[in-house]
Structure 1
């Protein structure tokens, strides 16, 4: 078994950083569904603005709100206005085609980058 990319939300803009919350990343529920992310699923967050990387878990925000909020101590590493990539992974024997979604400046799906065929 190996760990493969399952889904990716690329170029999300952080709308809020909430130090007072106890942890996680809040993501618009519509984006979570489009990326096949479950609530409380572990995610890797890469900050394209400053290079920080961290692991946390996803919680659902209001549907179609565009919310992407870093919560808790991670708000020291990822701030409002930063551009981030959110990735989830799964354990499988062989790779499957991941969901890759490019977001616009309002955290709406701009383009589905998922290829029709898995390149090997």
Structure 2
């Protein structure tokens, strides 16, 4: 049996840009991608803590060290600059992989810079 579980989560990042005229996606600082193991073009679900919206898009890289979390295209209608988001990616795991699976949870500071990786700290 295969099961879908949380792969990684960026917890309470703050939206820094919203651009309706862009073709779509979510720009994420490369430092956050590295910390979480998320990849460019990966499908993500976003949960807006500030207004309750839930939506999906894909990742594009934002400049390393910028703290950028940008919503583009239709996604830009789901949040305002300054809103807090939880960004999640899910993956499919076999029963054997489940035994050792631990999702990566990245906590950030007020500038969207990684401050702690919960899964790494737990191990």
Q: Under a length normalisation based on structure 2, what TM-score does the superposition of the two structures give?
A: 0.90
Aligned length in residues: 117
**1:16 — aligned with what?**
17
- Structure 1 residue 92, shift from structure 2 partner: 0.5
User: Which of 95, 110, 114 in structure 2 is aligned with 1:109?
Assistant: 114
Please list every run of at least 4 consecutive aligned residues from structure 1 whose deviation after the TM superposition is greater than 6 angstroms.
none
User: Unmatched 5+ residue regions in structure 1?
Assistant: none
Within 5 Å, give how 1:34-45 maps onto structure 2: 34-45=35-46
Aligned CA-pair RMSD:
1.2
- TM-superposed deviation, 1:93: 1.7
2:85 aligned residue: 84
| 1:111 CA displacement | 2.0
8 Å CA contact 2:31–2:113 kept in 1: the answer is no
Which segment drifts farther, 22-31 or 86-95?
86-95
TM-score (norm 1): 0.93
SS at match of 2:122: coil
